[in-house]
Amino acid sequence: MTDEVSERAPRTDDPVVIVDGLSKVFPGPPPVAALQPCAFTINKGEYVAITGASGSGKTTLLSLLGLLDVPTAGRYVLDGVDVAGLTDRRRSAVRANRIGFVFQAFHLLGYRTVIDNVELGLLYQGIPKRERRRAAAEVIDQVGLTPRRHALCSQLSGGEKQRVAVARTLVRQPALVLCDEPTGNLDSGTTAQILALLDELHARGLTIVVITHDPSIAALAQRNLMISDGYLTEAEHSHA
């Protein structure tokens, strides 16, 4: 596969994620089948929750979708690119350009400002400083932090820090945003704010996958994928 093909812009009707027979077995002894062969598709603009108890396999699936680990078997097409067989270098490039992450831990530089932290999302993409600054300011406005853009991240509340983390992800315009328990470190009021923000971003067309053990958070998504003992099942429901 050439670089030119891998970097093509997908058609708007292309699924963002196509998974077919994807599985993960960790070597033993004894071997552990963390994810049994599974198949699903996530279309552009969908909001999907992956739920399961601790040890169910949801973190393994997140690692495979986020190109943080390689599958034992199966096919994974991300944003038009067949990524399952890529070299480590190519996987890293696709991950950097196509995937955004929002974790429980914010991974911010506390001694730098909000806008500096958001700019870091573009630092290694060869984008000129002025353009990085403009793009960062734009997404900071989208997440409602414009009055705080020159504040040090060490001075922010937990909810504000998570908004910065979301903005840093959005500034790269990823094809897929993976959220791993994004409200795990937040109180109930701040959790509601972050979930409302994700809902708003989904309404703008972002493709979002949320990993959670909380059924009330999963209920906000369009679709639920559920994992138990490595087996994936799906329950579709409507979400207004």
Tell me whether residue 151 is in a domain. no
Give the pLDDT mean for 25-35: 88
Tell me whether residue 35 is in a domain. yes
pTM of this structure:
0.82
What is the per-residue pLDDT for 240? 44
181 and 213 Cβ atoms separated by less than 8 Å: yes
Decide which of 178 and 181 is more confident.
Answer: 178
How many structural domains comprise the chain?
Answer: 1
Tell me whether residue 33 is in a domain. yes
**Residues spanned by the domain of 221:** 3-8+15-105+174-236
The pair of three-digit structure tokens given for residue 193, joined into one six-digit string: 């704010």
Which pLDDT band holds residue 2 (cuts at 50, 70, 90)?
very low
What is the per-residue pLDDT for 236? 57
CB contact burial 54-90 (16+ within 10 A = b; e otherwise): eebbbbbbbbbbbbebebbebebbbbbbebbebeeeb
What is the per-residue pLDDT for 132? 87
Decide which of 33 and 126 is more confident.
Answer: 33
What is the per-residue pLDDT for 10? 39
Is residue 6 scored above 50 in pLDDT?
Answer: no
DSSP-assigned letters across all residues of 116-156? HHHHGGGGGGT--HHHHHHHHHHHHHHTT-GGGTTSBGGGS
The pair of three-digit structure tokens given for residue 214, joined into one six-digit string: 């909380």
Tell me whether residue 150 is in a domain. no
Percentage of the chain lying above the pLDDT 70 cut: 91
Handedness of CA 70, 176, 94, 82 (dihedral sign): positive
Handedness of CA 90, 165, 125, 4 (dihedral sign): positive
The domain that contains 86 carries what CATH number? 3.40.50.300
Tell me whether residue 167 is in a domain. no
What does the pLDDT look like over 183-227, one tens digit per residue? Answer: 676 677 777 777 887 887 888 788 999 988 888 788 888 899 999
Is residue 110 scored above 70 in pLDDT?
Answer: yes
Backbone angles phi and psi of 235, in degrees to 5: -125, 115
Cα(12)–Cα(45) distance, integer angstroms = 10
Is residue 175 scored above 70 in pLDDT?
Answer: yes
Which pLDDT band holds residue 13 (cuts at 50, 70, 90)?
low
Cα(211)–Cα(202) distance, integer angstroms = 15
What is the per-residue pLDDT for 185? 66
What is the per-residue pLDDT for 21? 94
Percentage of the chain lying above the pLDDT 90 cut: 31
Is residue 1 scored above 70 in pLDDT?
Answer: no
Is residue 69 scored above 80 in pLDDT?
Answer: yes
Could you tell me the end-to-end alpha-carbon distance of the chain, in angstroms, rounded to an integer?
41
Tell me whether residue 83 is in a domain. yes
Tell me whether residue 52 is in a domain. yes
Tell me whether residue 220 is in a domain. yes
115 and 136 Cβ atoms separated by less than 8 Å: yes
